């Protein structure tokens, strides 16, 4: 394939009722330029297509070129998707981080799982975190010029020498200077720290939070997440898991910084991911401490949001019961989750049974044999572990699973076991439940 064809922006679908459909664009057509400017990638496309008047040059499947004039609202899109969502080649990661999860994957899985991305464009499209080591100053200037924000940055540490060590990249410390360019331009940012025991915790974490607080108000939030350690770490940097006492210390450190920053800025800024509270056996903080759940997709506040939704739904259920609306659950059922969330889900089921004694649920804690027992989150449970550990168990008439167990495509687990294969193996209908407290209750009661 020629270089030119690699960068052709081939339309894969046209939204019904969209501008593109009105213009008679079709899958297979190629977007060439907007307002006389060739499209390099998705950054160019989004920026150039914001104008209210566009001249769109398209090459049709038969080779004809159409120059189309478009008048639209500022926030109105053309309504097309492309075969390549980035409209360019993906940029792979140049780092060899000592904590990289992909390096800890077992062999024999599908190739896409081993691709390490560090592409700033995915930060805007999918919320991915980038280290900035793969970006030039020109890339940063383009982000600033196109007003692309927020950009999600993997900091890990603000100690340049330590960052070089953690990322195994001699330019990793220098890359932090790009944050100053973004800050000076007023670009909104979010940050992430993957914490490694004895490496960037303790005094180093204190330094990092202190340094990052200097980027307020443009750096909106910073999450602190514990390193994930699988059993496939042969030949990798020796890292130790965090214990309960470590988690308690991290939470206390973050709490002190939250109080200090909130007093000055009115925001809590630095947040512990849910794993820390579960690991420490601590209650989740109130909803207002999450500042609007800026990093919920990164596992920060997901359980608090779930619990709040559950409480609201249960309150409504109790009111219904007091009016005589007791109802009947339609069947016995079962729920499977990871070791980390198991105690929380168990307590919620106990509360639900008080309101609905007819609810009969078997809750199963799944051990992650595939990645290792240290991986305890539900989102990394595989289909084969579910089959192995649930076969022969009383599952009732339905099995409920959280949606984060499935890949983004929604029909397959991380190990490529499909949802249908799981159903066939367990001989039970399987329902996927969104990570929402009300949806959880509705699914149990059969009211979906």
Q: What does the pLDDT read at residue 4?
A: 34
Q: What is the largest CA-CA distance in the chain?
A: 71
Residue 325, burial from CB neighbour count under 10 angstroms (0-12, 13-18, 19+) = exposed
Q: What does the pLDDT read at residue 295?
A: 94
Q: What does the pLDDT read at residue 324?
A: 38
Cα pseudo-dihedral 161, 163, 167, 172, rounded to 10: -80
How many whole angstroms separate alpha carbon 340 and alpha carbon 279?
7
Q: What does the pLDDT read at residue 2?
A: 32
The DSSP symbol for 37 reads E
Q: Which two tokens stand for residue 347?
A: 């307590």
Q: What does the pLDDT read at residue 446?
A: 87
DSSP string, 316-371: HHHHHHHTT------S-EEEEEETTTHHHHHHHHHHHHHH-TT--EEEEEEP-TTT
Q: What does the pLDDT read at residue 325?
A: 43
How many whole angstroms separate alpha carbon 148 and alpha carbon 135?
15
Q: What does the pLDDT read at residue 74?
A: 82
Confirm if 226 and 192 have CB atoms less than 8 A apart: no
Q: Is 269 helix (H, G, I), strand (E, B) or coil?
A: coil
Q: What does the pLDDT read at residue 102?
A: 81
419-426 contact pairs (CB < 8 A, 24+): 421/383, 422/383, 422/386, 422/387, 425/387, 425/391, 426/386, 426/387, 426/390, 426/391, 426/395, 426/399
Binned average pLDDT, 10 residues per bin, the chain of 448 residues: 55 92 93 89 81 92 92 88 71 81 78 55 62 88 87 95 96 95 96 97 98 98 96 92 97 98 98 96 96 93 96 83 45 92 95 90 96 92 97 96 85 91 96 95 87
51: left (phi over 0), alpha (psi -120 to 50) or beta: beta
The CATH architecture that domain 3-82 belongs to is: Roll (2.30)
Q: What does the pLDDT read at residue 111?
A: 62
Confirm if 153 and 189 have CB atoms less than 8 A apart: yes
Q: What does the pLDDT read at residue 323?
A: 37
How many whole angstroms separate alpha carbon 418 and alpha carbon 402?
15
Confirm if 231 and 374 have CB atoms less than 8 A apart: yes
Q: What residues contact residue 101 under an 8 Å CB cut-off, 6+ apart?
A: 228, 230
Q: What does the pLDDT read at residue 45?
A: 83
Class of 102-299 in CATH: alpha beta
Q: Which two tokens stand for residue 148?
A: 């692309």
Q: What does the pLDDT read at residue 316?
A: 86
Q: What does the pLDDT read at residue 113?
A: 59
pTM above the 0.85 mark? no
The residues facing 398 across adjacent strands are: 333
Ranges of each domain in the chain: 3-82, 102-299, 305-445
Class of 305-445 in CATH: alpha beta
The DSSP symbol for 266 reads S
Q: Is 132 helix (H, G, I), strand (E, B) or coil?
A: coil
Q: What residues contact residue 30 under an 8 Å CB cut-off, 6+ apart?
A: 8, 9, 10, 11, 58, 59
């Amino acid at each position: 394939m020629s270089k030119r064809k690699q960068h052709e922006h081939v339309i894969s679908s046209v939204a019904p009722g969209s501008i593109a459909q009105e213009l008679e664009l079709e899958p297979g057509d190629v977007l060439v330029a907007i307002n006389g400017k060739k499209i390099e990638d998705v950054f160019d496309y989004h920026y150039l297509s914001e104008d209210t008047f566009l001249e769109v040059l398209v090459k049709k499947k038969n080779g004809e070129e159409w120059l189309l004039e478009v008048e639209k609202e500022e926030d109105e899109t053309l309504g097309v998707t492309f075969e390549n969502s980035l409209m360019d080649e993906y940029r792979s990661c140049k780092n060899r981080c000592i904590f990289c999860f992909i390096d800890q994957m077992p062999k024999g899985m599908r190739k896409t799982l081993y691709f390490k991305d560090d592409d700033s464009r995915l930060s805007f499209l999918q919320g991915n975190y980038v280290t900035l080591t793969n970006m030039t100053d020109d890339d940063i200037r383009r982000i600033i010029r196109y007003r692309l924000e927020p950009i999600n940055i993997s900091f890990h540490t603000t100690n340049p020498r330590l960052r070089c060590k953690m990322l195994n990249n001699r330019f990793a410390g220098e890359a932090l200077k790009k944050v100053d360019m973004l800050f000076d331009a007023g670009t909104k940012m979010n940050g992430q720290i993957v914490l490694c025991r004895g490496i960037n915790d303790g005094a180093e974490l204190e330094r990092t939070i202190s340094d990052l607080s200097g980027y307020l108000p443009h750096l909106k939030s910073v999450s602190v997440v514990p390193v994930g350690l699988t059993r496939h770490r042969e030949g990798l940097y020796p890292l130790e898991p965090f214990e309960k006492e470590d988690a308690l210390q991290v939470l206390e450190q973050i709490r002190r910084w939250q109080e200090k920053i909130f007093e000055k800025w009115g925001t809590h800024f630095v947040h512990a991911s849910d794993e820390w509270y579960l690991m420490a056996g601590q209650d989740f903080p109130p909803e207002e401490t999450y500042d609007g759940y800026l990093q919920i997709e990164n596992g920060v506040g997901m359980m608090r949001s779930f619990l709040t939704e559950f409480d609201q739904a249960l309150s409504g259920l109790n009111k219904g019961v007091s009016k005589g609306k007791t109802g009947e659950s339609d069947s016995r059922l079962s729920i499977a989750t990871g070791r980390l969330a198991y105690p929380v889900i168990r307590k919620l089921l106990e509360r639900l049974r008080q309101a609905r004694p007819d609810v009969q649920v078997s809750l199963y804690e799944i051990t992650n044999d595939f990645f290792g027992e240290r991986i305890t989150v539900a989102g990394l449970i595989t289909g084969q572990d579910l089959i192995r550990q649930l076969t022969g168990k009383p599952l009732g008439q339905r099995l409920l699973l959280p949606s984060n167990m499935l890949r983004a495509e929604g029909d397959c687990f991380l190990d490529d076991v499909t949802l249908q294969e799981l159903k066939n193996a367990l001989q039970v209908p399987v329902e996927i439940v969104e990570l929402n407290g009300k949806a959880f209750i509705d699914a149990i009661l059969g009211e979906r």
